[in-house]
């Protein structure tokens, strides 16, 4: 069941710079996600994600398509129980602890992080900004309820 706050103001994205570039949007999302979900601190988990992401970034740095991989990405490990991973504008991709703990080694982690990095490299995350502009007109409580439901439901 989707629950929403009773207010009708769009305060969920109150300080979001809707017309900002990808880096600014990414920084905004990163700030809000890390405030909402704790970052994982256990060494085995953070070391694994860092190690795999470093290898992926080394491959991405040799990308033959000009401009497709303009910068290294940083994978953040969020303390989310549901098994999920996602990409947003900016330099970050996200993987949930609930997904990471299901994997027996580096290979499945590399698969998931490469998949999310591909969303960046293929320009899929650039589609977020126009969607956010449309959401600007929707009451914040409705958006909050939908996002909460989407983020806590396994795929």
More confident residue, 18 or 87: 87
CA–chain centroid gap for 127, Å, is 14
Q: How does pLDDT run across 97-127, given as a tens digit for each residue?
A: 999 999 989 999 999 999 999 998 888 887 7
Q: Residue 139 in 3-state DSSP?
A: coil
For residue 2, pLDDT over 50 is answered with no
DSSP state of 82: S
State the pTM of this model: 0.74
Over residues 22-36, the mean pLDDT reads: 88
pLDDT at 77: 95
β-bridge mates for residue 144, sequence order: none
pLDDT of 147? 61
Rounded to an integer, the average pLDDT of 119-148 is 68
- How many C-beta atoms surround the C-beta of residue 26 within 10 A? 22
Question: How many of the other CB atoms lie within 10 Å of CB of 76?
Answer: 19
CA neighbor of 29 nearest in space, from 82, 81, 74, 83: 74
Q: Which range (37-41, 42-46, 56-60, 123-127) has the least confidence?
A: 123-127
Question: 31-35, 66-70, 78-82, 136-140: lowest mean pLDDT where?
Answer: 136-140
The Cα–Cα gap between 116 and 60 comes to 13
129: CB partners within 8 A, 6+ apart: 18, 19, 20, 22, 25, 89
CA–CA gap between residue 75 and residue 140 (Å, rounded)? 28
- Strands (E) across 74-149 are located at 74-78, 85-87, 92-96
The structural domains of the chain, with segments of one domain joined by +, span 22-146
Residue 10 has pLDDT above 50, yes or no: no
- Average pLDDT of the residues of the chain: 80
Rg (CA), the chain: 16
CA nearest 109: which of 120, 119, 97? 97
Task: Examine the pLDDT at 96 and tell me if it is beyond 90.
Answer: yes
């Amino acid at each position: 069941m989707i629950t929403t706050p009773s207010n009708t103001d769009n305060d969920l994205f109150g300080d979001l710079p809707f017309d900002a570039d990808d880096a600014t949007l990414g920084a905004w999302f990163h700030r809000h996600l890390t405030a909402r979900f704790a970052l994982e601190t256990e060494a085995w988990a953070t070391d694994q994600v860092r190690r795999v992401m470093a290898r992926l970034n080394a491959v991405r740095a040799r990308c033959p398509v000009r401009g497709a991989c303009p910068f290294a990405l940083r994978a953040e490990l969020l303390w989310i129980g549901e098994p999920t991973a996602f990409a947003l504008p900016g330099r970050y991709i996200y993987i949930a602890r609930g997904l990471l703990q299901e994997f027996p080694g580096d290979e499945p982690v590399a698969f998931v992080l490469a998949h999310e990095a591909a969303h960046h490299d293929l320009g899929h995350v650039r589609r977020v900004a126009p969607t956010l502009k449309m959401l600007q007109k929707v009451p914040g409580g409705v958006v909050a309820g939908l996002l909460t439901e989407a983020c806590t439901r396994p795929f």
